[in-house]
Amino acid sequence: MKHYVQQFLHYLRQERNASSHTIQAYEDDLGQFLDFLQRHFSSRTVDVSDVDHITIRLFLGDLLERGFSKRSAARKLACIRSLFRFLHKRGAIARNPSVNVASPRLEKRLPEYLDEQAVDRLMDQPDCSTPEGLRDRAILEMFYGTGIRLSELILLSLDDFDMRNGTLKVTGKGNKERIVPIGRKALAALDRFLAVRSWFLAKGTLADTLRVLFLTKRGYRMNPKGVNTLLNRYIGQVSEIEQKSPHVLRHSFATHMLNRGADLRAVKEMLGHESLSTTQIYTHVSVDRLKKVYAQAHPKAS
């Protein structure tokens, strides 16, 4: 079974050009599934033919009993489905055992976002008298000003910007490129950061990172954990929302755009969504806000 999992991960890496973040997530989820199979079938070697739909359902039940959320269980099931779909297409199995396994029913959860006043306060948090503060301010402005993902920000290079036209070339999921506009404030923050960027170029900086936009103080490309830590700290200083990640600024970007009348399809293109239905969740956020205003202000609301 482990052999098939390694084949699948190789396929994601080499043929699908999946990001390192995606590969790691799949590897973790499938590793948990393999551990369960080892426990379920005692100590004997597990063959792929041993796994049926009941085994997968038992795995989901085991996850929930151990305290995993329904959302986490649903994500792991999606991973398992992808594995067995791959194996079925390659002829390794005659039937896909995950087809008839229902996903846990999820509660509808609207994305968390900052209001516009909180965003203004957020931008004032970095100490812009230091190179690191200027870098952090540029990172915050880039997330909010363009709506890009964490993985996309980390990949940015100096060559991706057209400062004259105020646009940015973004490499998104599946290595798909898109062009997004950059706001005036984000451009100004980026310009101030670029003036001190040489401070981050250490003697040991590798040649392939010389053009990387955002670097650590030791001259390395910033990693997801480091950027998440920065955002958690800065957002925590201006808001008590539960989620304090780069995605909060992506949510805020989309919500504020739609609140101010932006076209849904235009926002979809800027976010790099495959489907319009993915973007529509932000219209639900806007409607939810309007309902609260209505409930508070209309005399016949209650």
On whether the CB atoms of residues 9 and 27 are closer than 8 A, the answer is: yes
CB 204 within 8 A of CB 219: yes
**Catalytic choice (135, 137, 244, 273):** 273
260 is catalytic: no
Q: Among 4, 144, 234, 282, which one carries the catalytic annotation? A: 282
Tell me, yes or no, if 176 is annotated catalytic.
no
273 in catalytic set: yes
Q: Is 291 a catalytic residue?
A: no
Sign of the CA dihedral 262, 264, 266, 268? positive
Please tell me which residue in 57, 81, 173, 289 is annotated as part of the active site: 173
Name 258's Cβ contacts closer than 8 Å, sequence gap at least 6.
264, 267, 282, 283, 285, 286
Active-site position among 76, 244, 250, 256: 250
Is residue 250 annotated as part of the catalytic site, yes or no?
Answer: yes
Q: Could you say which of 13, 53, 169, 247 is catalytic?
A: 247
Q: Which of 149, 197, 221, 251 is catalytic?
A: 149
The three-state DSSP-derived secondary structure of 91-154 is: CCCCCCCCCCCCCCCCCCCCCCCCCHHHHHHHHCCCCCCCHHHHHHHHHHHHHHHHCCCHHHHH
- String of b and e for 186-200 (b: at least 16 CB within 10 Å)? bbebbebbbeebeeb
**Is 144 an annotated catalytic residue?**
no
Q: Which residues are catalytic?
A: 149, 173, 247, 250, 273, 282
